[in-house]
Amino acid sequence: MSTENCAHYHEEDPHPEQAAETSKAAPDPRTPEPGPAQDEPGAVVEAEAENPRPEEKLKDVEAQIAELKDQYLRKAAEFENFRKRINREKQDAIDFANQSLLLDLIPIIDDFERAIKAADVSQKGAADFTAFYEGISMIEKRLSSQLEHKWGLKRYDSAGEPFDPNRHEGIMVEKSSDIDEPVVKEDFIKGYTLKDRVVRSAKVKVLMPEHPGPDREMEKADPQGEVGGEGNPS
């Protein structure tokens, strides 16, 4: 081999072994890279776990709907029981609101029964009638006192007081020249207040002022009926 050929050989490929190794290591850009699904089977399972199938999604949604429906039915049943309990307690409060008052009245009713039985046994004698009257009066005082001091129900008298339409109901009227404003003359049915509020007006007879006429004015000015003085001619 000549010297020129040897020089040409060295210029073209100075290291033939390294060139061969480099050609083996460098990948061919035209060759597609293998994907994870082709090389690793576990990657397929992970991809399916991240993106579940429609059937699995539907099952999850149905399970959630069933759980929410069960919770709704439980809450609805609890609310219905609560509503019934509230209505029952409300009705009990209405039915037994006056229980304490009625319990206070029962002993007084017992006193009335005893007084009536005593009157029947006594055959209505004069002395026994006096005792019966006194017993009934005591029961009435006891009842009035019980209602006034414990429950605030007070009976008021109106005779002699100025007429007040908020407290009195006039069912009879009588004229009077001795008054200047309406006055209650007589109580027919007494009125009651509950804690200072009128719960029943008294039915009364009212005295109304009589408006005097001209003749009455002259009589008041001269009670003897003389219009002029002593020196006036007749």
Higher pLDDT, 53 or 29: 53
Q: Is pLDDT of 226 > 80?
A: no
Mean of pLDDT over the chain: 76
**In a 3-state reduction of DSSP, which class is residue 186?**
strand
What CATH superfamily is the domain 154-223? Answer: Head domain of nucleotide exchange factor GrpE (2.30.22.10)
What six digits make up the tokens of 159? Answer: 């005779």
**Which tens digits make up the pLDDT trace of 31-51?**
555 555 445 555 555 655 567
Q: In what order do the strands lie in the sheet with 183-189?
A: 168-176, 202-209, 183-189
Say which residues have a Cβ less than 8 Å from residue 117's Cβ, sequence separation at least 6.
none
Token code pair at residue 97: 């609101």
pLDDT score at 137 = 87
Long-range CB contact pairs, 54-60, < 8 A, 24+: none
Q: Evaluate if pTM is beyond 0.85.
A: no
Q: Average the pLDDT over 13-36 and give the result.
A: 53
Instruction: Give residue-wise pLDDT tens across range 139-184.
Output: 888 988 988 898 889 999 999 999 999 999 999 999 988 888 999 9
